Amino acid sequence: MSLRGPRALSTSLLAFAGLFLGLIAARGQLAQTPPDNLNMRYANGIVAIAEDHIITVDDIRREIGPLVPEIQKQSRSEKEFNEKLEALQEDVVQNLIDRVLIIKDFHSDEKRQVPASYVDNAVSETIITQFDGDRSKYLAYLRSRGISQKDYRKEQEDVFRIA
């Protein structure tokens, strides 16, 4: 595993935590103020680098976002919420790093290949279940993420390698 300094990772995590917690704390205020895209200002900020793969703030935000409401329900105080959110952030960063390392290990053996039909089926299933079978919605989603169909297929292939 190659990270560019544990201290740099800690600093990045702290900066991310502050940014994310500030956004959550201001959530009620953001609804009243005009959108200024500040919440996306640091979306491509680097949190970690594992085996030449960059993990950004947006990657962490994407993983944590769906879990925040549950943490809010479980927390009895702001302090408890902040502690749980910080622990979750650390877990997500470690999981993303582990995912990169597992995929790298999979690639190291040329005998191991994910059949193209598996990836085709996964993409088709995604279009059916997440986009109601509407390919144009799927393509709009890819555009919103700034990735191509080839990039998405690679992501799906990586999912099979991790599983």
User: Residues 117-148: pLDDT tens digits?
Assistant: 888 888 999 899 888 899 999 999 888 888 89
**Cβ(90)–Cβ(96) under 8 Å?**
no
Mean pLDDT over the full length of the chain: 75
Per-residue model confidence as pLDDT tens digits over 45-100: 888 888 878 888 888 888 888 888 999 999 999 999 999 999 999 999 998 898 88
As beta bridge partners, residue 54 has: 49
Q: CB within 8 A of 112, min separation 6: which ones?
A: 106, 161
Alpha-carbon separation of residue 143 from 38, 120, 140, 149 (angstroms):
21, 19, 5, 9
Name the amino acid, one letter, at 118.
Answer: Y
What amino acid is encoded at 11 in this protein?
Answer: T
Three-class SS state of 50:
strand
Instruction: Report the sign of the C-alpha dihedral through residues 138, 46, 51, 10, in that order.
Output: negative
In the prediction, which pLDDT does 162 show? 64
d(CA 90, CA 13): 8
pLDDT score at 40: 53
Non-local (6+) Cβ contacts of 90 within 8 A are: 13
Cβ atoms 45, 56 nearer than 8 A: yes
Q: What is the pTM of this model?
A: 0.52
pLDDT of res. 161? 67
- Residues forming beta bridges with residue 49, ordered by sequence position: 54
The answer to whether residues 45 and 57 touch, using CB atoms and an 8 Å cutoff, is yes
